[in-house]
Structure 1
Amino acid sequence: HDVINVTPGRDPATVERFARGFMDHNGVPVYVRLVACDMSLGFRKGIREHLPHARRIVDRFHVARHADEAVDKAGKTEGRSDPLFKRTKCLWLRNGESLAELQVETKRNLTGQRLKTGRACRMREVLQDICTDGRTPSEAWVRLHRLCSWMMHSRLKPMKDLARMIRRHFAGIVAYFGHPYANAVLEGADGVIRNVKRRARGFRDMDHSATMIYLTCGRLDLKAVTTT
């Protein structure tokens, strides 16, 4: 759970810099077997080139975030012409157990009116069920394939775009069900890093920023540091 490497960028060169730093600390890039990351095409190419034996796992929380964004776009598009959608955004983007009783009833009534956003919300919930309940890669493969087909025939542009994104990263998404790793720990560290940046009111350069990240998230043993 410790930060051991800080490298700027989101392209293949970023992974290359990580691999070089890894070797500087006696790491062997070809021994890396699993990498959990988001759906960045730059990361995908970099992993393929510089961590050649690593299997890429797409973080399921990033998949869920893209699904939320797709439902939100569908709601905004339909909300421009339908007054029923005023102040209902939270109903579509939150799970039923986190809604109050009145909100659950309102959502049920809206869903029963065959609204496009209601269909988009059901697709999001199916995706969430797959990520939560999928037991094997083969089962997840079948269920995701069916979901993508449903979304592609939905006539909802945001959901069709989501389906295309899932298909582009299908192997990485399915890999999660065989190796259930995610970037949750990293997201927690990111919150700490944002707080450090806010307290410092920014840093002059990347070196200063990286130093503070190591100090706050690297769990360094400062007592072991000696000076002459």
Structure 2
Amino acid sequence: MRGHLPNAARIIDGFHVVKHANEAVDKASKAEAGENPPLKRTKYLWPGNESNLTDPRPEVRRDPAKRRSKTARACGMRERLQDIHADSANRTEAEAGSKALRSWMMHSRPEPMKALAGQFRRHRQDILAYFDRPYTNAILEGLNSIIQHAKTRSRGFRNMDHSGTMIYLTCGELGLNTVTA
């Protein structure tokens, strides 16, 4: 493959980086909820950004007993990661911010965040490549979703060509009135 695309680079976009951070926050929340009574029944409080929470949820999240928790620190780390991806103008800024964030994660107590910092360190170049070339594969993932749905709808067709035709019709946004016999 490298012979055909010598300048190709692997890029990990912000969506997928934050997705892994959300999973780490969820693991930290689950691990701490059993041992910290004020955190019981707060599973859905931590995944969102504080600015997107509706009343009275921000006040619950700001409770001092909850703010000192490992889950709150993990949530703060995830929000800092989002800020790095939103505010960094170039690779240098993103690299400095992510290095400081990785240090914070490695010296923190939530184990899932330490594991995430190690994962970020291993894939550092691929994550930072996004700031050189801000491309995502969102279009491909969207098309794949449409194709998988078309394949599900075409179950029972006796001929694979008919499944292919269904995929072309669906992805091409063609109506059946444009198809001639």
Q: Note the C-alpha offset of 1:144.
A: 0.5
Other-structure match for 2:124 = 170
Asked if 2 retains the 8 angstrom alpha-carbon contact of 1:111 and 1:118, the reply is no
How many residues end up aligned between the 2 structures?
A: 181
Other-structure match for 2:19 = 65
Letter paired with 2:58: V
Other-structure match for 1:134 = 88
Provide Cα deviations, 1:125-171, integer angstroms capped at 9, x if missing partner. Answer: 00000111111101101111111111111132100111111111111
Other-structure match for 2:143 = 189
Q: SS in structure 2 opposite 1:56?
A: coil
**TM-score when normalising by structure 1:** 0.67
Q: In the aligned structure 2, how far is the partner of 1:202 from the partner of 1:74?
A: 45
Q: In the aligned structure 1, how far is the partner of 2:29 from the partner of 2:157?
A: 39
Q: Determine which of 55, 69, 92 is the counterpart of 1:101.
A: 55
| Unpaired segments ≥5 residues, structure 2 | none
Confirm whether residue 120 of structure 1 aligns to residue 74 of structure 2: yes
Q: Determine which of 151, 154, 158 is the counterpart of 2:105.
A: 151
% of aligned pairs identical? 53
Provide Cα deviations, 1:176-202, integer angstroms capped at 9, x if missing partner. Answer: 112111122233334434543554469
Other-structure match for 1:56 = 10
Q: Note the C-alpha offset of 1:113.
A: 4.1
Q: Which is worse superposed, 107-116 or 70-79?
A: 107-116
Provide Cα deviations, 1:30-78, integer angstroms capped at 9, x if missing partner. Answer: 3xxxxxxxxxxxxxxxxxxxx3321221122111110000000000000
| Unpaired segments ≥5 residues, structure 1 | 1-15, 20-28, 31-50
When residues 213 and 110 of structure 1 are mapped into structure 2, their CA distance, relative to the original with a 3 A threshold, is farther
